[in-house]
Every structure is written in structure tokens, then in C-alpha cells.
């Protein structure tokens, strides 16, 4: 992928930084001319980023300055909460003007969030062919190949000459004033619209124009099923270095194509979702959402962690007399629980990534478990020896060092076990391990770490 020149990137960043100041000045009564000029220099995705970074009042002020066409492009780029907020603050008439010219795949992404009267008005403005294509796109889930695809794929038959195809493409260019983005291939279909292969544009312009499409087309192209999950589509593009790919239905009929810009959006959304899930704020996409809304969402995971804390405190309370008799136990027990949590998190990260990439399946999950248990045992032995020496040197108590080491070995082993089993179990029952795995894992390693260490110390030392 071609990289932006560094000076161009810096220019855009400077424009984005100055935009917030210009908005504040305009809201205080200054002229909006400089603000409008700066907006014209930005891509719709950059405007969406700026809107998401502004507080509520400034966000709405800037939104009202945009023209209808720009608003449509910005709505496509904006994320969940901010997108819904902007739609709610826009009249139905303006929304129709903003979205009616969008590509079908972009419109399909928005239609579930638009008011019914807006969708009806946009549908009535479509011709019959475009309406059929739009219905085909939105019949598939947003997170599937069918939901990502653009139904306006250019298709040709194999029995026509390259000269005819070239004139056809030129005619489309004159009629529509543009050709589809990232057009590197034309789809080749039969009379029944069965997908047969692709014709690369480089072959079209460099081959003998008297040749037929069938003579130069590439047949060994695996189309993408419309029901393939979006994350698998992204992986296919990454593995095959594709710019575009055909999409077919269950009967093998060509119904559209996916381009690399759609896949980049999927990759960005997946990365953003993973980061939010790790912090237990997977529903929070607006950093300036009302405090009450954010507090309500975060309270769920805070409650779960509070329960974990009380369970750990209850376990510690069971050994209160032991801790009173040997203060060193209170000093060392967080180390055991913390090391087990880190070991489990490392394992869970590897397993969760493997599940996301389909590298972990039922056939190899047992081998993966054995491998992670071996890693946990080896690390337990390594660090057990070290912490035993530290404990003996610190507290001048050999038995305390041995108990400390044994507890650490056991908890690292259990951390590896839980780090493997927990995400596999959650995945099996349909829960995203990235969302709930960390909470369960820490609960296991904390409670077990305290129980093992304090229990062994009570039995052996006291």
C-alpha cells in the first residue's frame, strides 16, 4: 500500500488540531470562513474523527456547518454512538439528501440506524435495478461478506472480445462520470450469472483486442461466499494480497464484490473493539457520552470485579489467624496471585488470538493445552527457585521459602490451565473470550493463589 508523504500527513494532523480551536472561536462569534476552508481540506474520515473528539455542543455546531453530501460520507465513517447522535440531530429531508447518493454497501450499513421515513424515501427514489441490488446487500448481516460487498460489480461474458469489453467500460465511464473504486478486475459470468473467473484490467489493455475474454481470463479465483464472516474476509485479503474479490451466493451466482477499503474498515473496527473489550467498555464508542450513560455501562464489570474481590477477601479471612501469626504471609501472598494472573493472561492472549484466526480448532486444542501446561510448569520451576531464595534471604526461614516456591509453581501451572480452558469454554458456548475471559481468569488465579499459599503455610509452618 502506498504511504502518504510525511509532510502531507503532518499537514492533515495540524489541520485537525486547529479545527477544534476554530470551532471554539466560531461558537464565540468569530467568522466561520477559516473553519469552512479547513473542512474542505479534510477527508470525510478525518472530519468524522474530529467530530468524535469534540464535546457535545461543539460537535453539533460543526455538524450543522457541513453540506448534505459531506454529511452522508461522514455518517459512513462515524462510529456507533456518535453516528446515532448525529442522525438524531438531522432532519429527515436532509438525511435523504445526505444518503441517497451513497454506494449501496455504505447505504446498507446505515439503513438500520436511519428513520423509517428516510429509508422509504431513498428506496422510492431508486430505479428497480438499484433497489433489487440494495435489497440483496441489506439481506445479509453487516458483519458478513454480503454485508460488506458492493453490488455494482462490472460483469462480462466469456464469449465477447476484449475490444467489446473495452468499449463497454468506456461507455460506463461516460455515463456515470466515474468507474468503481479499486477496479482492478472485471468479473466473468455465464449467461445464468454463474461466476467463472476474472479479467484483470492489465490483461484487457495489454492483450490482442481480437481475443475473447475466455482466452485471457483467470479461472483459478476462489470467490467469497456471501455468508462468510467479515473477519475471515479480512484474513483472506491479507493472505492473498487482494485489492478486490468476487462475492457469490449459495448457488455460485455473482452478486457483488468486496474491495480493500471495506476490509480496512473491518480491521480497524476489530482492533478498536478488542481494545474496548479488554477494558470492559465494549459498548462505549463516544468518549464524550453522558456521564450517567457511561457509569451505567461500566458498573456491570465493576460489579463483577467487586464479587471477585469479596471472594478473595473471604479466602484471606479464612486464614486470618495464620496471617496474624506470620506477617510474612501477608507480604508474599500478592506475589503468588499476581504471577498466576500474568501467566494466565499470557496464555489466554495466545489462545484467544488463535481462536480469532481459526488456528485453534477442536482437533488441536488438547495439544495446545499440553503445550501451555508445559510452559507453565517450566516457568514455575524457574521462578520458584528464585523466589524461594529471595524468601529465605529476606525472612531467614527455609520452610517459608519452600512453601512460597511450591505455591508459585502450582499457581503458574493453574494459570496456564485456566488461560487455555477459559477462552476455549467461552468460545464453545458463544461468548467472546476477549470480553469475559479476563474477569474469569483473574478470579481463578487470585482465589486459588491465596488458597494454595495460605493453605500450605498453615499446614506446613503453623
For each of the domains in the chain, give its residue range(s) and CATH number, in order of start: 144-259 (3.10.580.10), 291-460 (1.10.357.20)
pLDDT tens by residue, 280-302 = 555 556 667 777 777 776 777 67
CB 416 within 8 A of CB 372: yes
Q: What is the pLDDT of residue 273?
A: 67
| CA 3 vs CA 6, 7, 214, 267: distances in Å | 9, 11, 36, 18
d(CA 434, CA 279): 10
Decide if pLDDT at 2 tops 50. no
Decide if pLDDT at 18 tops 80. no
DSSP state of 364: T
430: confidence class by pLDDT, cuts 50, 70, 90: confident
What pTM was computed for the model? 0.67
Beta strand 224-225 pairing with 254-259: unpaired
d(CA 295, CA 79): 20
Beta strand 185-189 pairing with 155-157: parallel
Give φ, ψ of 412 to 5 degrees: -65, -40
Sheet holding 155-157, edge to edge: 155-157, 185-189, 195-200
| CA 51 vs CA 56, 78, 85: distances in Å | 9, 8, 11
Determine the average pLDDT of the residues in 176-180.
74
pLDDT tens by residue, 358-412 = 788 888 889 999 999 999 999 999 999 999 999 899 988 899 999 999 999 999 9
Residues in contact with 284: Cβ distance below 8 Å, sequence separation at least 6, in sequence order? 81, 276, 294, 297, 298
Place of cell 455501562: 297
d(CA 462, CA 458): 5
Amino acid at each position: 500500500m502506498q504511504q502518504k508523504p510525511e509532510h502531507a500527513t503532518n499537514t492533515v494532523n495540524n489541520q485537525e488540531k486547529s479545527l477544534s480551536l476554530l470551532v471554539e472561536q466560531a461558537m464565540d462569534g468569530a467568522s466561520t470562513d477559516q473553519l469552512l476552508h479547513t473542512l474542505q481540506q479534510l477527508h470525510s474520515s478525518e472530519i468524522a474523527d474530529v467530530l468524535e473528539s469534540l464535546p457535545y455542543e461543539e460537535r453539533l455546531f460543526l455538524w450543522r456547518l457541513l453540506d448534505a453530501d459531506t454529511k452522508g460520507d461522514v455518517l459512513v465513517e462515524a462510529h456507533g454512538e456518535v453516528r446515532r447522535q448525529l442522525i438524531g440531530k438531522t432532519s429527515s429531508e436532509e438525511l435523504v439528501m445526505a444518503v441517497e447518493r451513497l454506494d449501496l454497501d455504505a447505504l446498507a450499513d446505515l439503513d438500520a440506524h436511519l428513520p423509517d421515513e428516510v429509508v422509504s424515501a431513498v428506496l422510492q427514489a431508486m430505479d428497480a435495478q438499484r433497489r433489487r441490488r440494495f435489497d440483496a446487500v441489506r439481506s445479509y448481516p453487516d458483519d458478513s461478506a454480503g454485508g460488506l460487498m458492493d453490488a455494482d460489480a462490472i460483469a462480462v461474458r466469456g464469449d465477447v472480445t476484449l475490444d467489446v469489453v473495452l468499449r463497454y467500460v468506456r461507455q460506463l465511464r461516460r455515463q456515470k462520470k466515474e468507474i468503481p473504486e479499486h477496479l482492478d478486475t472485471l468479473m466473468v459470468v455465464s449467461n445464468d450469472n454463474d461466476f467463472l473467473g476474472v479479467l484483470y484490467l492489465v490483461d484487457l489493455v495489454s492483450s490482442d483486442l481480437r481475443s475473447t475474454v475466455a482466452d485471457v481470463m483467470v479461472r483459478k479465483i476462489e470467490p467469497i461466499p456471501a455468508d462468510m464472516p467479515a473477519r475471515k474476509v479480512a484474513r483472506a485479503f491479507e493472505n492473498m494480497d487482494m485489492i478486490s474479490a468476487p462475492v457469490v451466493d449459495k448457488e455460485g451466482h455473482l452478486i457483488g464484490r468486496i474491495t480493500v477499503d471495506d476490509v480496512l474498515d473491518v480491521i480497524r473496527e476489530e482492533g478498536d473493539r478488542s481494545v474496548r473489550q479488554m477494558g470492559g467498555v465494549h459498548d462505549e464508542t463516544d468518549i464524550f457520552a453522558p456521564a450517567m450513560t457511561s457509569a451505567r455501562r461500566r458498573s456491570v464489570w465493576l460489579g463483577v470485579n467487586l464479587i471477585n474481590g469479596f471472594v478473595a477477601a473471604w479466602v484471606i479471612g479464612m486464614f486470618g489467624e495464620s496471617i496474624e501469626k506470620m506477617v510474612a504471609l501477608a507480604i508474599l501472598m500478592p506475589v503468588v496471585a499476581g504471577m498466576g494472573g500474568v501467566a494466565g493472561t499470557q496464555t489466554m492472549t495466545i489462545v484467544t488470538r488463535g481462536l480469532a484466526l481459526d488456528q485453534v480448532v477442536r482437533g488441536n486444542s488438547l495439544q495446545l493445552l499440553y503445550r501451555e501446561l508445559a510452559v507453565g510448569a517450566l516457568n514455575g520451576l524457574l521462578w520458584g527457585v528464585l523466589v524461594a531464595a529471595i524468601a529465605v534471604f529476606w525472612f531467614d526461614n527455609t520452610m517459608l521459602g519452600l512453601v512460597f516456591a511450591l505455591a508459585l509453581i502450582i499457581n503458574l501451572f493453574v494459570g496456564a490451565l485456566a488461560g487455555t480452558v477459559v477462552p476455549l469454554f467461552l468460545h464453545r458456548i458463544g461468548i467472546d473470550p476477549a470480553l469475559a475471559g479476563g474477569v474469569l481468569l483473574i478470579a481463578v488465579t487470585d482465589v486459588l493463589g491465596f488458597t494454595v499459599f495460605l493453605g500450605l503455610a498453615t499446614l506446613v509452618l503453623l
